[in-house]
Amino acid sequence: MRVADSTHVDRVLDAARASAFEPGEYVGQQSFVTAGEVLWLARRAGIGPGVRVLDLCCGMAGPGLHIARELGCDYVGVDASPAAVARARERAAAAGVPARFDVATIPPLPPGPVDVALLLETMLAFPDKRGLLEQVGASLPVGGRFAFTVEEGRPLTASEREGMPGADTVWLVPLDELWAELDRAGLRVRLAHEVTAEHRATVEALAEAYGSLAPRVLAEAAAAFGEDGVSDLLTTHRRWSRWLREGRVRKFAVVAQKGAG
C-alpha cells in the first residue's frame, strides 16, 4: 500500500542522509547543518541548564532535541506541521528528553518567557524577514539571544526561480540588508560565522548519497511521493552545491542579542 511504501522509503532516505554525515553528526536533521555545528551555535548563544529556549520551525526536532539532551535547557519547539510535531513528541519520549512541542505558524511567536530563540536552517523560507525579526525582537527580554543560520545572497532572478524546485520557499537576503533589519528589531549581531565551505561539503555528500540509491529504491520513492518529488530532491541539492561553490550563496551562523532600547 502507499502508506507502507512511504514509511519504507522514508527509512531508506533517512539512511541515505545519515550516510552523508560523519559518525555522530547526524541527529535526524533534514538540512545541511551538523550536530557539532548545532551545539557550537547553541553554546555561543548561551544555552545551558535553566535557559528557556524556543525552537522556531523545529520540524521533527532532531537538532533541537540534541541541544536539549546535551545542554539541559528548558526547551519548547514549535512548527506549523502537525505531523512533524507528532513525530518530534515521539522522538522526545523515546529519548527520555524533557521537551514541549506546539503546533503554530510563525509569525506570530507564541507567548511565554524565552531567553533564546532558535531558527535553524529555515530563515530562507521567510519572504518577510522584517516581520519575522520584529516578532523575535519583541519576544525577547533585554539580553535575550536570537541564534540562527541564514543563506546570504541576492534574491533569485526569474530564470533561477523557474529552474529551482520549491522556489516559493527560497528567499535569499543580502547580508547588509539582514543586519539592517536585525538592528531595526533591536537585535545586535554578536557573532557571524561563515559556514559556506562546510555546508557545501555536506550538500555534495547528500547529493551523492541520494544519487547512489538503487534504481529500485528510486522507483519506490517515485511511487510513494511522486516522480517530481524524487527528481526535485536531486535537482535541489545539485543546485545548492553549485551556488555554494560559485559564491552565488553564502551560509552563516549568527547570534544576535536584544539591546536595551
Q: What is the pLDDT of residue 214?
A: 63
- Tens-digit pLDDT profile for residues 17-43: 999 999 999 999 989 999 999 999 999
Q: Which residue has the higher pLDDT, 1 or 129?
A: 129
- Tens-digit pLDDT profile for residues 57-72: 999 999 999 999 999 9
pTM score, two decimals? Answer: 0.91
Q: What is the pLDDT of residue 63?
A: 97
With beta carbons less than 8 A apart as the criterion, state whether 54 and 110 touch.
yes
Q: What is the pLDDT of residue 255?
A: 98
Measured CA to CA, the distance from residue 84 to residue 88 in angstroms comes to: 6
Q: What is the pLDDT of residue 224?
A: 56
The whole-number average pLDDT for the span 52-58 is 98
**Domain annotation for the chain: domains and CATH numbers:** 2-258 (3.40.50.150)
- Tens-digit pLDDT profile for residues 155-186: 999 999 998 888 999 999 999 999 999 999 99
